[in-house]
Amino acid sequence: MKRLSVPALLAAVFAVLVWASQTGAMNIYWQSVVMFMGVNIILSSSLNIINGNMGEFSCGHAGFMAVGAYVSSVLSVALFAKSAAFGDPLLSPHLAVWIFPLVLLAGALAASLVGLLVAIPSFKTRGDYLAIITIAAAYIVKSTIENIGIIGGARGFMGMSSVMRAMNDTANLPWIMIWVVLGTIFSVWLIRRFIYSTFGKGVDAISQDEIAAEIMSVDTDRVKLVAFMVSCGLAGLAGGLFAHILGYVNPGSFTILKSTEVMVMVYLGGMGSLSGSVLSAILITLLMEALRPLQIVKWVVIPLLLVLLMQFRPEGIMGRRELADVFPGLRKFYKFKG
């Protein structure tokens, strides 16, 4: 039972969401809230590897998300849709259902390669200096996209909705919901396996004492490289999903404001706590929706929350702990570690 409780729960959540989207039991608005929740979970739990576990300060997560969003959008439109920029589809649109995960993966890979832009300087640089490099990397990505004409430049890029429609023609299912939920589960599962292995614990070792890590045989450069690439790659995956939910991307969606939003989720959840990142991504998404009637004042309330958080609970909701540490009763139902 211990082994199967979590997969069973996730399968049930997956089934309910797909069923509710299919039958319309959940309206379009709530569907999109749930999907953005998924994207935010991927973003915050992947940023948590760098800002939480490794103790660095990356403010450029939106940049890597943009890489994933654009690469996967361009690929999916070029492969499966008729567009002004790329002409007729290269493959039959009916293949979209099967090849779409690979398209997302390609976006993630591209983002993780761009992550090298930050990973390599991190060998020599730490803290504030690295934070500035992450901002620079995000700006490089954004201005590059703005200056490539064929993908729409600053006007943005569209056509992904026809890919989603093509999937619907193949099999009438709420495909985007399926991909988002699967992508979210996949990401959290990947991160969890990474950070609980001895390999991944090297990341924590670096944050707590880098010199000790190096002298105790941890190849710190390699660990940083892997951690940055995993984190940026998953941000790219989130970006790909984000682009396909909206059916339209523009560089303006990936500004420092987006990076800040993700950082707020990490700090609210508790640095270095995976379950904290997941929980706070859910909370923040709901909060953003609840505060929507406030319109622009929302951007006063949310930063204010951050100020209050830092004043009264700087360690975040969970601190460094996980759900099973806070509620030991949960251990009866699932094995948290290992």
What is the contact surface with another protein in residues (CB under 8 A)?
190, 193-194, 197-202, 204-205, 208-209, 211-221, 226, 230, 320, 338
* CB nearer to another protein: pick between 146 and 210: 210
State the nearest-atom distance from the C-beta of 55 to another protein, in Å: 11
Q: Report helix, strand or coil for 158.
A: strand
State the nearest-atom distance from the C-beta of 202 to another protein, in Å: 6
Quick one: tokens of 132? 């500035």
CB burial of residue 25 (10 Å; 0-12, 13-18, 19+)? exposed
Quick one: tokens of 124? 């020599």
* CB nearer to another protein: pick between 145 and 234: 234
State the nearest-atom distance from the C-beta of 335 to another protein, in Å: 13
* CB nearer to another protein: pick between 101 and 303: 101
State the nearest-atom distance from the C-beta of 226 to another protein, in Å: 6
State how far the alpha carbon of 303 is from the alpha carbons of 13, 60, 265, in Å.
Answer: 32, 18, 12
* CB nearer to another protein: pick between 37 and 226: 226
State how far the alpha carbon of 290 is from the alpha carbons of 24, 32, 167, 169, in Å.
Answer: 22, 14, 32, 35
* CB nearer to another protein: pick between 214 and 289: 214
State the nearest-atom distance from the C-beta of 192 to another protein, in Å: 10
Q: Which of 239, 233, 220, 244 is nearest to 32 (CA)?
A: 244
* CB nearer to another protein: pick between 201 and 331: 201
The residue behind tokens 């002298």 is 215
State the nearest-atom distance from the C-beta of 7 to another protein, in Å: 14
Backbone angles phi, psi at 337, to 5 degrees: -105, 155
In 122-264, beta strands by DSSP E = 157-158, 248-249
